[in-house]
Amino acid sequence: MFKKLRARWGVSGLDLLLILCTFALGGSACARLSQVILNLGFSGTKGFLWWLSYILLVTLLWPICVLLISIPLLQFRFFSNYLRRVGKRIFTRNLKSKSYKIKIALFASGAGSNVENFISFFSTHADVEISLIVCNNPQAGVINVAQQYGKKHLLINNNDLAAPANLIAQLKQEGINFIVLAGFLKKIPGELIAAFPNKIVNIHPALLPRYGGQGMYGNKVHEAVIQAGESKSGITIHFVDDHYDHGEIVFQTTCDVLTNETALSLSKKIKQLEKQHYPEVVYGLLQNAKG
Per-position pLDDT tens, the chain of length 291: 676 666 666 677 788 888 999 889 988 988 888 888 888 777 667 778 888 888 888 888 888 988 999 899 888 888 888 787 777 666 655 544 445 689 999 999 989 899 999 999 998 888 899 999 999 999 999 999 999 999 999 999 999 999 999 999 999 999 999 999 998 988 899 999 999 998 999 999 999 999 888 888 888 999 999 999 999 999 999 999 888 888 899 999 999 999 999 999 999 999 999 999 999 999 999 887 654
**Phi, psi (5° rounding) for residue 103?**
-105, 125
For 222, left (φ over 0), alpha (ψ -120 to 50), or beta?
A: alpha
Q: Is 246 a catalytic residue?
A: no
Q: Which of 125, 153, 204, 222 is catalytic?
A: 204
Sorted by sequence, the CB contacts under 8 Å of residue 173 that are 6+ apart come out as: none
Model-wide pTM > 0.85: no
Q: What residue ranges do the domains of the chain occupy?
A: 2-97, 101-194
What is the CA angle 253-255-257, rounded to 5?
Answer: 145
Domain spanning 101-194: CATH superfamily: Formyl transferase, N-terminal domain (3.40.50.170)
